[in-house]
Each structure stands twice: as C-alpha cells, then as structure tokens.
Amino acid sequence: MIEVIKNSKSIATEAYRALRTNIQFSNFDQEMQVITVTSATPGEGKSTTMANLAATYAQAGKKTIIIDADMRKPTIHKRFDLAKMRGLSSVLVGVESFEKCVQHIQSQENLDALVCGPIPPNPSEMLASQKMADFIAYLRTQYDVILIDAPPVLAVADAQILAQIVDGTILVAASNQVKKEQLAEAKKRLDKVNAHILGVVMNKVDMKNQGDYYYYYQK
C-alpha cells in the first residue's frame, strides 16, 4: 500500500499534500486538471510520486484517476495489486470499453486506476494518436483530476508526446542519482515541445541530512 493511504500523518504524506497545494497554486489562469509525471532516467520514483499525489487529491474529495502510460515498463498494477490484462492499450485499440477497464482502488475513496493493459508494439504511436487525445478529452468530463504516469524523458519520446496534451508536467529527480546534465537535458527536451513544466520533485533525499522527504520547487 502506498504511503499516503497507509500513514496519513507521516512526513512523506505531508510533503505530498504540500506538492498538491503547490500545483493548485501554480497557475491562476488555467486549472491543472490533467498532469503527467515523468523523470529524466528510470528508477527515480516517478510512479511512486504519482500514486501518492493521486491519493492526496482523492482524500481532498477530488474524483481522481491514475493512468499508466508507461507502456514499456508499467508498474501501477503492482502498486495497487490490480488486474493487468486490460487497460489503456485495450481502450485505445477499441477492444474494450473504458468502463470495463477502469478499476476502483478499494483502499481509497474517489480514486480509480487505468493500468497499461497488454503492452503494445508501438507505444509512442499509440500515445500520439487522435484516439489518445480524444480519450483524455473524455476523461476531463468524468474526473476532477487525471494523473498520467509517463516513461522517463531521456529513454523514449513518450513523455514529450504526452506533455503536449496535458495541462502540466511534473519532473521527478532522484537526489544523488540523476546527474545534473541529465536533468538539464530532460528539461530541454520538454521545452522543445512547449511543455508546461510545473516544477521538480526532489526525491530520495537523505532525511538524516535534510530533515524532509520530498521537496517541490516551482519553475
């Protein structure tokens, strides 16, 4: 079970709530309804960040859905112990309806999930399709908050593709893991597609030295 659901009073949970608040105040002119979460490189904690952030929105009374668009290495089904046989790819190719694929998180009210489903041979093309854009437009009418887990920016182009159809992008950076040059290059690639980067979540910070678990820096 993820931290925000397991322990509502932990330091990490409070940090995720602060992240949610910062996002809400990040842009007065545009509602941050659809947000993608990515990182520069694998293993920096983007999926964990997204799952916990989603739970804070749900706990605040927002009807929330998390979508696993990391179609090469999906993990959301593992984090919430969900069935993985059908999901986003099933909806986009038209073999299943969204209603048959969406799953409700039993441990958290107001929180749904759409897992990856069968891994397709062409993830980038699928995410760049008009069907994906139309699907996100449909979800906007059904949910208050839509959080999308995207692959690392430096690995494939998927995060750049998704950044063009969402309201904002969060970049997760693992302290003492990602190199400064990698983070800069990830931002550069997102800037190339005019991504609205909401900020960076500094992850895996040594609590003994820093006193906090997560930090959020607005752009």
CATH of range 3-218; options 3.40.50.720, 3.30.2310.20, 3.40.50.300, 3.30.930.10: 3.40.50.300
Compare 175 and 50 and report the one with higher pLDDT.
Answer: 50
Angle, in degrees to the nearest 10, between helices 11-24 and 46-59 = 80
pLDDT of residue 1: 62
Is the pLDDT at 211 greater than 80? The verdict is no
Q: How far apart are CA 51 and CA 195, in angstroms?
A: 21
pLDDT at residue 206 in the model = 65
Query: Could you give the CA distance from residue 159 to residue 176 in angstroms, rounded to a whole number?
Result: 23
Report the percentage of the chain scoring pLDDT > 90: 71
Closest by CA to 134, choosing from 94, 77, 102, is 94
- Residues 126, 83: contact at Cβ < 8 Å? no
What is the rounded end-to-end Cα distance, in angstroms, of the chain?
A: 31
Give the mean pLDDT of 187-202.
94
Q: What is the DSSP letter of 175?
A: T
State the average pLDDT for the chain: 90
Say which range, 6-15, 70-79, 200-209, has the weakest mean pLDDT.
Answer: 200-209
| Per-residue pLDDT tens digits for 58-76 | 999 999 999 999 999 999 9
Which segments of 64-157 does DSSP mark as H helices, in order?
Answer: 76-79, 88-93, 98-101, 123-127, 130-140
